[in-house]
Structure 1
Amino acid sequence: MASLPFLRRVALKTLPLRPGSSHALLLLLLLRRPLSDAAHDPPFSLKSLGRTSKPRRSEARKEPPGSSPGGDPERPVGSDLPFDFKYSYSERSAAIDPIGFREPPRFSPFGPGRIDRTWTGTSAPAREAPDPERAARERDRVLGAPLSEEEVAELVERYRHSDCNRQIDLGKGGVTHNMLDDIHNHWKRAEAVRIKCLGVPTLDMDNVCFHLEDKSGGKIIYRNINILLLYRGRHYDPKQRPVIPLMLWKPYAPIYPKLVRNVAEGLTFEETKEMRNIGLNSPPLTKLTRNGVYVNVVEKVREAFETEEVVRLDCKHVGTTDCKLIGVKLRDLVPCVPILFKDEQIILWRGKRDTKSNSTSHA
């Protein structure tokens, strides 16, 4: 396209300047237009400004942990962790198979083609069968010699306080997959990490401690109600940390069989209805708060079942979803039979007891 000064010179030489003509108006517009019109300026380049297209080191994008080796986005990520990847390791029981899925299993929460494992809808199984002995030897190598009492006391005093900046909150999701990456990120600069547990997982703290040690490779050196300290080991090397591909979103929970049946097993319909009415009219055994600490609830329910047949738990403001999760936990831990969830109230029946075995045990 011709430049603006060139058009001016051509117009002055060739166009007639009769007053009132269209040529005169056009020439007047061209003369009034400024020479520094941004629309006709040539585009600048980084080279003209003394810069190259190569970004600075501070501006270079860092590869996230668990990314493909060599920065190749086409290559899936491989991990040597000897267990199946799940959203939650402590709150998903492998004993109960789902009866359906809320989304197709082909939608992997790790993203399409990002890992070398296949998502089944609930987990991403390891490509090779795990070797427990090899994993135990590697864990013992990283942990090294046991800590002395003085070393444990020093670490506890450093990390057990509430103002510790090396803390991870463990909620109703329990020990999640992405939490493992958070633990290793803290272990880069700290020997231990403080974990504060709240909500449904606190019903079974032994299960939480087991999965934290098993999946991270660390060791619990301090446990006080719902506060844990997870130690990384004497020979932990942040540069040799395992590859943990992150989940990009929380997968939808699958559909499981119905928790509460219309007729409880071992009872008739009328007996089940009577048990529900007795439970609704009985005083609550305890009141649970949202995101509370439930470490003593299992023992309270067991003690109550020694004299009572039906127990009611007041879960007002806890939420319907958490109420069902609590009922599932109590069903397996006490054990008992949940017979009603209504108005954030949990009604538990102790089930059929063998009177002969009870009488012989008391004798």
Structure 2
Amino acid sequence: MLSIRRSLTLAKEAKDSFLFLCNLRARLLSTDYDDPPFSPLSKPTKPLREKKTKQKKKTKQDQSSEPVTNRTVPVTSDLPFDFRYSYSETNPAIEPIGFREPKRFSPFGPGRLDRNWTGTSAPASPESDQSQWAEEREKILGEPLTEEEVTELVERYRHSDCPRQINLGKGGVTHNMIDDIHNHWKKAEAVRIKCLGVPTLDMDNICFHLEEKSGGKIVYRNINILVLYRGRYYDPKNRPIIPLMLWKPYPPIYPRLVKNVADGLTFEETKEMRNRGLLSPALMKLTRNGVYVNVVGRVREEFDTEEIVRLDCTHVGMSDCKRIGVKLKDLVPCVPILFKDEQIILWRGKRN
């Protein structure tokens, strides 16, 4: 009896183990994930959208028959002055002797302007009337501001925390800056302009070009801070069309500024002047991107007693040194005879 019961239990255990192994094998071979009881049902998957049928490609004959509508239309501007990269830092009277890039590469982009690029400027149409532009400017400015209006306007825009500010650097009054000024004038009556670097040697020149090119009026000037007023009857919707320059053009090659032998001197005298200048004490030490408003006056006063003046331009950069020398040559006037180790040596020239 015991043997029969024992055989039955063994058979039952063998059957259970066989079922367990079969179940385990089915689970291992199955690709479905194990879904335990009481698990949340997964959301039914949405049917895939039918892909749209692709349109057949048109033949070359059909494409050639369609009119081309993606060509850029040249921008026409009625402004009566020549477009240049910098208006205050270039002298149209001095002709370059060469170019660093072909003239056909216009900084306004190919076919984007109805003016031809000459390498230095895009000349205005000969039909443009300067007097008409001046009359429109006077109409926009309207009656002169009273003292109370000027005081209120200056008090709003002269402070350093003014959000309507444009920084003017060594490029001077650039072409794209005129567009920036009109963008500020959309929501503000005036714009604050902070001038730094080489252009501050001649602030009168900066004010002239800002007023002439933008059509506004300088109502405040303190050292290197300007406030440019847009006018009483300025309408942003009727602002002039100013095409933007897409890149800065390479500067052309101009005649050499410093000659081997200065005019009116021999070679030995020129060499002696340069050595004297290097050994003389520096009149001023200029900083990079500084304010040079009083440099011209100081140099003129020094030339009353001295024949040679040295300016220490350490850390200013050789390119800025040459820009300073070019401006001082016309403003003082004087003769630059040496640029060496960021030092500028100026000679006052022969006096009658």
TM over 0.5, shorter chain? yes
Pairing 1:336–2:351 present: no
Pairing 1:92–2:99 present: no
Q: 1:242 aligns with which of 226, 231, 240?
A: 240
State the 1:272 CA deviation: 0.1
Say which SS state the counterpart of residue 346 (structure 1) adopts. strand
CA contact (8 A) 2:80 2:125 kept: no
Q: Which residue of 2 aligns with 1:302?
A: 300
State the 1:116 CA deviation: 0.3
Q: Which residue of 2 aligns with 1:323?
A: 321
Q: Which residue of 1 aligns with 2:254?
A: 256
- Counterpart-to-counterpart distance in 2, 1:342 and 1:294: 20
Say which SS state the counterpart of residue 202 (structure 2) adopts. helix
Q: What's the TM-score, normalizing by structure 1?
A: 0.79
For 1:59-70, what aligned pairs fall within 5 Å after superposition?
A: none
Among all aligned residue pairs of Structure 1 and Structure 2, give the percentage whose two residues are the same amino acid.
78
Which runs of structure 1 show a deviation greater than 6 angstroms over 4 or more consecutive aligned residues? none
- Counterpart-to-counterpart distance in 2, 1:73 and 1:220: 41
CA contact (8 A) 2:170 2:199 kept: yes
Q: 1:224 aligns with which of 215, 222, 225?
A: 222
State the 1:130 CA deviation: 3.8
For 1:168-207, what aligned pairs fall within 5 Å after superposition?
A: 168-207=166-205
Deviation sequence 1:215-240 (CA, Å, 0-9, x none):
00000000000000000000000000
- Counterpart-to-counterpart distance in 1, 2:162 and 2:223: 17
- Residue type of the alignment partner of 1:255: I
Equivalenced residue count is 295
- Counterpart-to-counterpart distance in 1, 2:317 and 2:128: 38
**Aligned-residue CA RMSD (Å):** 2.0
For 1:49-60, what aligned pairs fall within 5 Å after superposition?
A: none
- Counterpart-to-counterpart distance in 1, 2:333 and 2:150: 36
- Residue type of the alignment partner of 1:232: R
- Counterpart-to-counterpart distance in 1, 2:311 and 2:254: 23
- Residue type of the alignment partner of 2:270: T
Q: Which residue of 2 aligns with 1:56?
A: none
Say which SS state the counterpart of residue 222 (structure 1) adopts. strand
- Counterpart-to-counterpart distance in 1, 2:90 and 2:279: 33
- Counterpart-to-counterpart distance in 1, 2:159 and 2:129: 38
Q: Which residue of 1 aligns with 2:291?
A: 293
Q: What's the TM-score, normalizing by structure 2?
A: 0.81
Q: Which residue of 2 aligns with 1:27?
A: none
State the 1:95 CA deviation: 1.6
CA contact (8 A) 2:109 2:246 kept: yes
More moved, 257-266 vs 73-82: 73-82
- Residue type of the alignment partner of 1:324: K
- Counterpart-to-counterpart distance in 1, 2:298 and 2:239: 42
Q: Which residue of 1 aligns with 2:156?
A: 158
Q: Which residue of 1 aligns with 2:108?
A: 110
- Residue type of the alignment partner of 1:77: V
Say which SS state the counterpart of residue 81 (structure 2) adopts. coil
State the 1:132 CA deviation: 2.7
Deviation sequence 1:303-353 (CA, Å, 0-9, x none):
100110000000000001000000000001000000000000000000111
- Residue type of the alignment partner of 2:151: A
- Residue type of the alignment partner of 2:207: C
Say which SS state the counterpart of residue 167 (structure 2) adopts. strand
- Counterpart-to-counterpart distance in 2, 1:130 and 1:260: 39
- Counterpart-to-counterpart distance in 2, 1:287 and 1:177: 31
- Counterpart-to-counterpart distance in 1, 2:295 and 2:148: 34
- Residue type of the alignment partner of 1:321: S
Q: Which residue of 2 aligns with 1:24?
A: none
Say which SS state the counterpart of residue 138 (structure 1) adopts. helix
Pairing 1:124–2:122 present: yes
